[in-house]
Amino acid sequence: MIEKHVKKTGVVIVTRSGSTRCPGKVLRALGGRPVVQWVIEAAQAAALVDHVVLAAPRHDARLEEFEELAHATGVDLWLRPNEDDVLRDFYQVAQGCDYDPVVRVFGDSPFTSPWVIDACIALYRTGCDYCTNAPNFQDRGFPRGLDTEVFSFAVLEWMHRNLTPERTPYGRYTPDYREHATMYIRENPGFFKTKLLRVELNQTRLCIDTEDDWEKISGLVGMLGGEPTWWDAMRVLEAHPELAIHEGRERQPSGEVDKEE
């Protein structure tokens, strides 16, 4: 009997140490461990995830720290050749690791939730090309910092091969399609079968983009202690609104400002 080959459901965390507004944020110690380690552990805790990859630039000044972190957490480290082509990074990781579907979470979001990851994967498995809980800035129910995307390898491959200056169909080409990986799907939802995981919560942000974000998230984690979940964070923020980071400008999903994933 020939065994049927089964693809893996894989999480890719594309990251780097550089950031102009909050340098080294993903490697800063938060609650005793690096911010991106929170994200790795959340991905590992998701029941529907088979494999996790941390993707860091080959020439990152702090590559050794990413190597040590990957070893300590038991994830594979993928070396990125070019920080600006995140779409290629996702394609190469997914192809090399045999992922289908591919799950995207963000390295600057310490409250990334295993529950949200599993819920997005489960919804994706009901039949679609792309599933997310954060389609754009204006239409989100979850706090920013829980952003999760799940998409098929077929769609990823199509974008990698077609979103180039010579080939981009149905509209203009922009380098942002390469840098932000899934922007084309969000700008052209009618071309794909998409599903949205929806709740109605407030617009508090639980990711780290600036030094002010860092101070507030650090204070929040200090008050929570232990292994806090995003529900714990939301409960504390209700009692301490001064720690809340509210959305105040339009931008890409968490991790996509400052070329930071």
For every residue of 139-202, DSSP letters joined together read S--SPBT---EEE-HHHHHHHHHH-STTT--SS---THHHHSSSHHHHH-GGGS-EEE------
In a domain, 210, yes or no: no
In a domain, 81, yes or no: yes
CB 115 within 8 A of CB 49: no
pLDDT at 174 over 70: yes
**pLDDT single digits (tens) 210-243:** 888 888 888 888 887 767 777 677 777 766 777 6
Least confident of 59-63, 73-77, 237-241: 237-241
Alpha carbons 203 and 187: distance in angstroms, whole number: 21
In a domain, 165, yes or no: yes
CB 134 within 8 A of CB 251: no
The backbone region for 133, taken as left when phi is positive above 0, alpha when psi lies in -120 to 50, beta otherwise, is alpha
Highest mean pLDDT among 145-149, 155-159, 223-227: 155-159
In a domain, 122, yes or no: yes
pLDDT at 14 over 90: yes
Q: Pull the structure tokens for residue 94.
A: 């997914």
In a domain, 207, yes or no: no
In a domain, 233, yes or no: no
Report the CATH number at residue 176. Answer: 3.90.550.10
Amino acid 252: pLDDT: 47
In a domain, 62, yes or no: yes
Per-residue pLDDT band for 2 (boundaries 50, 70, 90) equals very low
In a domain, 206, yes or no: no
Number of domains, the chain? 1
The domain of 23 spans 8-200+250-259
Per-residue pLDDT band for 198 (boundaries 50, 70, 90) equals confident
Q: Return the sign of the alpha-carbon dihedral for residues 41, 44, 47, 48.
A: positive
